Structure formats: structure tokens, C-alpha cells
Amino acid sequence: MSAVTIPYKQQLRREARAEGIFRFFSLAAALLVLALLAGVLISLCYGGWPALKEFRFGFLTQTIWNPVTERFGALAALYGTAITSLIAMILAVPVAFGIAVFLTETCPIWLRSPIATCIELLAAVPSIVFGIWGLFVLAPVLQHSVQPWLIDVLGDLPLIGKLFRGPPYGIGLLTAGFVLAVMVLPFITSVIREVFLSTPRSLKEAAYGLGATQWEVIWDVVLPNARAGVVGGIMLGLGRALGETMAVTFVVGNAHRISGSLLAPGTTISASIANEFTEAVGKLYTSSLIALGLLLFVLTFVIIAAARLLLLRLESRGAQL
């Protein structure tokens, strides 16, 4: 046996050296996570610099996107990103809230785990699958039934009517918002469900003891108690929606313009990059697309960081209790 032949002290030294190496590598790997973030930021700044230098603040305020004259502005893509994500949130949040309520309160216990698993499987479906489903299944349905109805019913209303005018293309900002809503639904649901589950039992029982109905307990006790977590979950979903690429690229229509109608084709930051990057010729074109990527990264970073901070504060509060 080798252990016998190696003197005791030598073996100790060897162990200590291995300890140093192992510790070094684990620290290096941990620091690599920080380096990744810095690397992404630096490389995007570097790549997008020519465009930012050329257009300065105009890059953020111009809607023009013309590869021929090499004039680029991010406003149309920024607008599309914001609008599609907003639509997604308006559609997904109430449904996610409903599912979370159902799964934590009304659902029979034996059904909870299977349904929760199904909803979470929705999160595992690759985004490209949502994309082709949106293009071939959802878009025609919207085009033939939902959009004509929206145009008829809402198109003539004074203020919001403008949003629902024009021909029903099927693809466009509204459709992209629908697909995004489906995609972020499981993420928001899972966060809301978790914060609902963490409501102290005693609080709920006290409310029931006062004669509250089940709904009143949820709305007046569980929800206020879980408020920060719910907001965090929604923002996490928003961060996802802003950066989602493939699902949107299929259905948004890829038109660099801002039209008043939600039914019209538009584009988002991620869709523009996905669509045009490999075909972009010229330094300024490529650089503008990278600058778009930088914009997207900063935007999602701020939102996700805020969401995480909210959820983190919640966790530490929970630990104190």
C-alpha cells in the first residue's frame, strides 16, 4: 500500500497543496461568473461603439432604420420591445395569479402537484417551438377571429380605438404579445405560487376565524402579505419577455416602424438582432445591431436586478421570522 510507504508529513503537505489548488479553482470559477458579466458588457460596448459614436443620442430617439443610407435608430425596436412585453404582462399576470390561487387554495391536494408540473413543463418548451406554433397556429386564429372582432368592437372607440385599426395581418405586435404571454406565464406563476405558499398559516386562520370567505382571505390577507414577492415575480417575467428572441422573431413581422395600431407588424430589439445580424453588411450596420444588444442587456439587467433584490429582501425577511 502506497500510504504506508509515504512518510506522514509528506502526505500532509501533499494534502495541503491539493487543498490550495482546489480552493483556487473554485474561487476562480466563482469569479468567472463576475468576469462573464463584465465581459458581456465590455464586448457589447466595444462592438456598439462605432454606432453610438456616429449617432450619439439620436440612436435612442430616431425611428429610422435604413441599411442603404446607413442611418440607424433604435426607437422603433425599443417601442416594439416595450409594447409586446406590456401586452404580455397584461395578459399573463391575471392568468398567473389565477393559477397560483387555484394551485394553493382551491385545487384538491392530489391534483396540485400534477397540475403544477404541467404548468412548469410549459416553461421547458423551447422558445423556438412557441415561435413556430405562434406563426402557424396562433397567428391564423388571431387573424380570422380575434383581430376582426377587436377592430369591430374597439376600433371605433375614441381613445384606445387607434390601437385596434388597420387590416388584421395575423402577425404583428399583438400576436407577439400573446406568444410572450404564454411564455412568461409559467415563470410568473411559479414565483407567485411560492410566495403564496409562504404565507404564515396563523394569518390565514385568523382571517377565517373572523368570518372571511376564502376569496377574502386570499385577496385581503395572502396577497398583501405576498406583495413584494408578487411584484418580484412579475418583474422577473417582464425581464424574460423583454429579452425573449425566437418566439417573437417568428410573429412580430419585422418592420422597423412605429404605427399606432397594435395589429400592425413591428419589431423588437431581439428580433432585429436575430433577423438581421448574419446579413448585416458594413461596420455601422453590425455595430448598430450590437448597440441594440447592449441596450437590451442594460434594460433587462436593471429590471431583473430589481426583481432579484425584491425577492432577496423577501427571503432574508423570511429567514428572520
3-state SS assignment for residue 193? helix
Q: What part of residues 295-314 is at the interface with another protein (CB under 8 A)?
A: 296-297, 300-301, 304-305, 308-309, 312
Nearest CA to 313 out of 219, 195, 201, 202 is that of 195
| 82 contacts another protein (rule: CB under 8 A) | no
Is residue 203 at the binding interface for another protein, with CB under 8 A as the rule? no
Interface with another protein (CB under 8 A), residue from 76, 78, 99, 264: 99
The Cα–Cα gap between 321 and 306 comes to 23
State which of residues 75, 173, 246, 310 lies at the interface with another protein (CB under 8 A): 246
131 binds another protein (CB under 8 A): yes
d(CA 184, CA 165): 27
Q: Any contact of residue 102 with another protein (CB under 8 A)? A: yes
Using rule CB under 8 A, residue 149 touches another protein: no
Q: Work out how close the CB of 290 gets to another protein at its nearest, in angstroms, rounded to a whole number.
A: 6
Is 175 near another protein (CB under 8 A)?
Answer: no
* Cβ pair 201, 217 in contact under 8 A: no
Which residue of 6, 13, 27, 167 would you call a contact of another protein, by CB under 8 A? Answer: 27
Q: Could you tell me which stretch among 148-156, 166-174, 179-187, 198-206 binds another protein (CB under 8 A)?
A: 179-187
Q: Using the rule CB under 8 A, which residue among 61, 66, 145, 214 binds another protein?
A: 214
Q: Which residues contact 96 (CB under 8 A, 6 or more apart)?
A: 185, 188, 189, 192, 233, 237
Stretch that binds another protein, among 53-61, 167-175, 238-246, 255-263 (CB under 8 A): 238-246
Consecutive H or E run containing 319? helix 283-320
In the complex, least distance from residue 287 CB atom to another protein, rounded to whole angstroms? 10
b/e code 14-38 from CB counts within 10 Å (16+ = b): eeeeeeeeeeeeeeeeeeeeeeeee
Task: Report the residue from 29, 109, 281, 321 that binds another protein according to the rule CB under 8 A.
Answer: 29
Report the amino acid identity of residue 230. V
